């Protein structure tokens, strides 16, 4: 009966230790089975390398070199790929396999496990941004000053949050295969229609009209605004609204979480 008496000395420390273990497990999962994230990381980097080497030095509509604006658009594409898919699919996999049930009957709150899935995806999102920044440096030279670049990275990583919530909302209720399929089916058209691959002014009129209804468009615009200094309050509000809606969806799905 000793277990009853030996309580934790600090209520915070055990929670942080569990988070540490869970994040380490999450990072290992991605490192040891990289195929799941392979395309999320490789696609943006390859596309970026191709387009940047073709058009990187030409001036874009905003007057900045195309390589600079592409850092914002492809950065959005890359970060959202990882943050939308990785935590949601990881939770769905653990649910489908029954592993989440092991966490559910443990003394650690299940929220820690889910938070850890999000945190362990962040290094990979950062890796995508670093990779395309490296490529940009190679093919177009330095196009941004360090301060602007850091602001861009910060906006992209924070801007991944509403997409993570959306991915989790699907991952809480659907199987792992269905989660990946549903998210990709929604996401890839959104990427094209938000002008992340090709500039929006190259797109047909109806796509240009549709873009302001897509959260990926607003994140890309907010990222671009870090470079151009344009007013992006509307984009910020749109993203906050998306975050609120995603949070409600994720909360509802969490309450219906079947483990």
Partner 1 sequence: MIDVLQIAGAHHRYGALTALDSVDMTVRAGECVALLGPNGAGKTTLVGLATGLLAPQSGQVRVCGGDPRRAATRRHLGVVQQSMGFPRTLTVAELVRGAAVRAGRPATAAGPVLAEVGITDLQRRRAGKLSGGQQQRVALAMALVGDPTLLLLDEPTVGLDITSRRAFWRTIAARRDAGAGILLTTHIVEEAAAVADRVVVLHRGHVVAADTPAGLTARLPDRTIVARTGVADSVLRTLPGVLSVTTDGDRVQVATAAPEDVLRRWLVLDEQLTDLRVEGAGLEQALLALTGDATSGDNTTGNNTTGDKVEVRA
- At 174 the three-state DSSP class reads coil
> Nearer to partner 1 by C-beta: 29 or 211?
29
Applying CB under 8 A, which part among 60-68, 92-100, 117-125, 172-180 lies near partner 1? 92-100
Residue selected from 1, 12, 146, 233 as contacting partner 1 according to rule CB under 8 A: 1
Exposure on the CB side of residue 82, measured as CA atoms within 13 A: 32
Q: Report angle CA 103, 15, 128 to the nearest 5 degrees.
A: 80
Give the separation between CA 103 and CA 259, rounded to whole angstroms.
Answer: 10
Q: How far apart are CA 50 and CA 30, in angstroms?
A: 26
DSSP-based helix, strand, coil % in the chain, nearest 5? 80, 0, 20
The nearer residue to partner 1, 3 or 146, going by C-beta atoms, is: 3
Which listed residue (47, 60, 104, 254) binds partner 1 by CB under 8 A?
A: 104
Interface mask toward partner 1 for 200-239; x: CB under 8 A? ----------------------------------------
Instruction: Decide if residue 4 touches partner 1 (CB under 8 A).
Output: yes
Cα–Cα distance measured from residue 12 to residue 25, given in angstroms and rounded to the nearest whole number: 20
Member of 98, 147, 204, 229 binding partner 1 (CB under 8 A)? 98
**What is the binding site for partner 1 (CB under 8 A)?**
1-4, 8, 14, 17-18, 20-22, 25, 28-29, 32-33, 94, 96-99, 101-109, 259
């Amino acid at each position: 009966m000793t277990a009853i008496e030996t309580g934790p000395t600090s209520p915070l420390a055990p929670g942080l230790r569990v988070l540490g273990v869970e994040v380490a497990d999450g990072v290992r999962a991605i490192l040891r089975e990289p195929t799941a994230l392979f395309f999320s990381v490789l696609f943006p980097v390859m596309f970026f390398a191709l387009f940047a080497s073709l058009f990187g030095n030409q001036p874009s509509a905003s007057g900045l070199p195309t390589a600079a604006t592409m850092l914002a658009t492809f950065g959005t594409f890359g970060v959202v790929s990882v943050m939308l898919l990785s935590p949601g699919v990881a939770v769905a996999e653990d649910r489908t396999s029954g592993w989440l049930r092991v966490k559910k009957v443990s003394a650690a709150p299940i929220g820690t496990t889910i938070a850890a899935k999000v945190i362990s995806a962040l290094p990979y999102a950062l890796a995508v941004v670093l990779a395309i920044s490296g490529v940009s440096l190679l093919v177009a030279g330095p196009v941004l000053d360090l301060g602007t670049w850091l602001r861009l990275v910060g906006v992209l990583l924070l801007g991944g949050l509403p997409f993570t919530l959306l991915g989790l909302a699907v991952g809480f209720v659907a199987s792992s295969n269905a989660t990946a399929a549903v998210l990709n089916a929604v996401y890839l058209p959104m990427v094209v229609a938000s002008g992340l691959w090709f500039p929006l002014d190259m797109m047909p009129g109806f796509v240009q009209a549709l873009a302001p209804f897509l959260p990926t468009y607003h994140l890309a615009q907010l990222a671009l605004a870090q470079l151009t200094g344009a007013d992006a309050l509307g984009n910020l509000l749109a993203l906050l609204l998306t975050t609120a809606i995603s949070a409600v969806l994720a909360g509802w799905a969490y309450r219906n979480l079947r483990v």
